Amino acid sequence: MEAALSGGDTAGGDPGRRPKRLPRTVRERQILDAAVFVFSQHGYHDASMDEIAEVAGISKPMVYSYLGSKEDLFSASIRREATKVIEAIAETMTPGRTPEMMLYDGFVAFFTFVSQNRDSWRVLHRLAANQGGPFFAEWAEMRDRVIEVVSTLMVHQGSEGGLPEEIAVQGEALAAALVGATESLADWWMDHPEASPRKMAARMMSLVWNGFGDILRGDYWVPPHKR
């Protein structure tokens, strides 16, 4: 339980007998690491501040002193992890490419992130989305960015379809479904981790780009350079 978090309890290779007394910024990082871990294991309510403090290798009052209440702590955890995901995906979202490739690369980036940050993903997925109050706001921001991208793609390309209003609503709905499908597939992947991130991304593309109709005809999606 305790190992593998935050690079151990003592900072640096210093052999002194008093490894304690670390500066605030370091402790805050450790606390957040612990919080993400514990929240991901037990969910918001079943996670206790005592356990978070213990995992962080510090006493409870320090947690309160640095990060505030349990809500504040959870909020901070979400914000930090959400930023990670967003940045991981945003890096690949360079403009001037085909929507198809943007989507594919976005999926690859996402699944790569999930495979390397399971705890982060667990915290974000459905913990943040579910609880009422301030957590939802953090989550919604990330979701809105996805919706934005999807809507942009639609307006950019297929604006023949009708009023901009209708397109926007349609885009929102599709983005929601898209995100849900991706999340769900990520969950499934955690139980069947044989496939590579690229393979998972290709599966997503088969479903949401080609569509089920094509799939039933045996027409799965493959990257352009292999066609």
Partner DNA sequence: GCGTAGCCTTACTCACGAGTAGGTATAAAT
Partner DNA sequence: ATTTATACCTACTCGTGAGTAAGGCTACGC
CB 93 within 8 A of CB 85: no
Q: What x-and-dash track marks residues 79-108 binding a second copy by CB under 8 A?
A: --------------------xx--x-----
2 binding DNA? (CB under 7 A):
no
Among 4-12, 16-24, 25-33, 125-133, which window interacts with a second copy (CB under 8 A)? 125-133
Among 40-48, 97-105, 111-119, 138-146, which window interacts with DNA (CB under 7 A)? 40-48
Compute CA 8 distance to the chain's CA centroid, rounded to the nearest angstrom. 25
Q: How far is the CB of 1 from a second copy (least distance, A)?
A: 17
CB 163 within 8 A of CB 145: no
Which residues have a Cβ under 8 Å from the Cβ of 14 and sit 6 or more positions away?
Answer: none
71 binding DNA? (CB under 7 A):
yes
10 binding a second copy? (CB under 8 A):
no
CB 43 within 8 A of CB 119: no
Let me know if 218 is exposed, middle or buried by CB neighbors in 10 A (0-12, 13-18, 19+): exposed
CA distance 155 to 159: 5
- Rule CB under 8 A: choose which of 4, 14, 160, 227 binds a second copy: 160
98 binding DNA? (CB under 7 A):
no
Count of residues touching DNA (by CB under 7 A): 23
Here the tokens at position 224 are: 């352009």
Q: What x-and-dash track marks residues 169-188 binding a second copy by CB under 8 A?
A: xx-xxx-xxxxxxxxxx-xx
The neighbour count for residue 65, using CB atoms within 10 Å, is 11
Q: How far is the CB of 138 from DNA (least distance, A)?
A: 17
Q: Closest by alpha carbon to 181, among 158, 208, 148, 211? A: 208
CB 221 within 8 A of CB 210: yes
- Rule CB under 7 A: choose which of 2, 8, 65, 161 binds DNA: 65
62 binding DNA? (CB under 7 A):
yes
Task: Using CB under 7 A, list all residues that contact DNA.
Answer: 5, 18, 20-24, 27, 46-50, 58-62, 64-65, 69-71
